[in-house]
Amino acid sequence: AGLGGCVIELMKRGLVDFIISTGANLYHDLHSALNFTLRRGSPFVDDRVLYEEGVIRIYDVLVPAQVLLDTDSFIRDFLVTSGLEGPMSSAAMHEALGRHLLKVRPGCANYSLVASAAKYGVPIYTSSPGDSSIGMNVAYHALINRSTLQVDPNKDVNEVCAIIRAAEKNGCVILGGGSPKNFYLQGQPTLWEVYGILKGGNDYFIQITTDSVVWGGLSGATPAEAVSWGKINPSVLPDTAVVYADSTIAFPLFCEYAVGHKNGRRPRKNLLAQRATLVNDLEREARKQIKKRDKARA
């Protein structure tokens, strides 16, 4: 939706530690990295005509089918040449993809989220890796090339939990909602409910959404509801913020404030390089807490 430049600037300034995204956002980011052309159109065109002309519509963005085919081809070539095999987290695969982009398209970090994240050490997770054209091409790689590469959701869950556990304070900025929203917020219940590690909930919560709570979906769920799950620290509930607006309008304004603030730059954490260590720390603490829990039940 044209917000990649905002996120890239925040990563560059050390204001984003990790990202959870839909796979679709990352796939379409590759069009920018590969310098493919998209067109602005209208949401009111005749989609039957677009279909006949080989044009795909995403609301008012028109994508030539050849752009998708060429992007798919790039992904498949990357999967073959990278030699990636076995189970790995989505962050590990996205890092490899980002580094490949930096190699074959020097300078693309200025306008590609995936490339920038690899450059600045920011892990990108996808809560539903099969639900995108990237996942579709990984599936192709497994079936046709007999690859053992697999995006392991267990690794994703544990890496995100490990990052949350290690942080002194936790917080999030949510654009929209859906699966990525819950994938981040469930980290707190995973810690206390499953691993017996009480973290206390998120300390900061900002969401920009057009969804409403009355429809019962996760995108419109309030921070107050999240408190009941242990996802948000009860003491900070009055300071949480939900903005009912189009993210493409509100988020750039938010970013302008953030980069102009006196604390608008900080050292980058490079969590990409710390993932294995953080997961090992999580496992040690979890085993200790599970042992206590089992002893209490005996």
Residues 38-75 pLDDT 10s? 999 999 999 999 999 999 999 999 999 999 999 999 99
Output the pTM of the full model: 0.94
What is the band of 17 on the pLDDT scale with cuts at 50, 70, 90? very high
Residue 103 has pLDDT above 80, yes or no: yes
User: pLDDT over 90 for what percent of the chain?
Assistant: 92
234-277 pLDDT, tens per residue?
999 999 999 999 999 999 999 999 999 999 999 999 999 999 99
Tell me if 187 sits within 8 A of 161, measured CB to CB: yes
Residue type, 272: L
Tell me if 221 sits within 8 A of 213, measured CB to CB: yes
The number of CA neighbours under 13 Å toward the Cβ of 130 is: 7
39 forms beta bridges with: 62
Residue type, 208: I
The domain spans of the chain are 18-40+67-151, 156-278
Q: Which residues are catalytic?
A: 231
What stretch of H or E contains 64? strand 61-64
**How confident is the model over 279-283, as a mean pLDDT?**
98
- Distance of alpha carbon 41 from the chain centroid: 27
Homologous superfamily, domain 156-278: Deoxyhypusine synthase (3.40.910.10)
What is the band of 2 on the pLDDT scale with cuts at 50, 70, 90? confident
Q: Which residue has the tokens 């509801």?
A: 225
**Token pair for residue 26?**
């990352």
What is the band of 158 on the pLDDT scale with cuts at 50, 70, 90? very high
Residue type, 217: G
Who contacts 294 (Cβ-Cβ below 8 Å, separation ≥6)?
none
Distance CA 226, CA 236 (A): 12
**Token pair for residue 166?**
């290690």
Distance CA 252, CA 239 (A): 21
**How confident is the model over 1-24, as a mean pLDDT?**
93
> Helices 113-120 and 4-12: crossing angle, nearest 10°?
10
Q: Report DSSP state, residue 105.
A: S
How would you label 270-295 residue by residue, b for 16+ Cβ within 10 Å and e otherwise?
ebbebbeebbeebeebbeebeeeeee
The closest of 89, 87, 84, 85 to 155, measured between CA atoms, is: 89
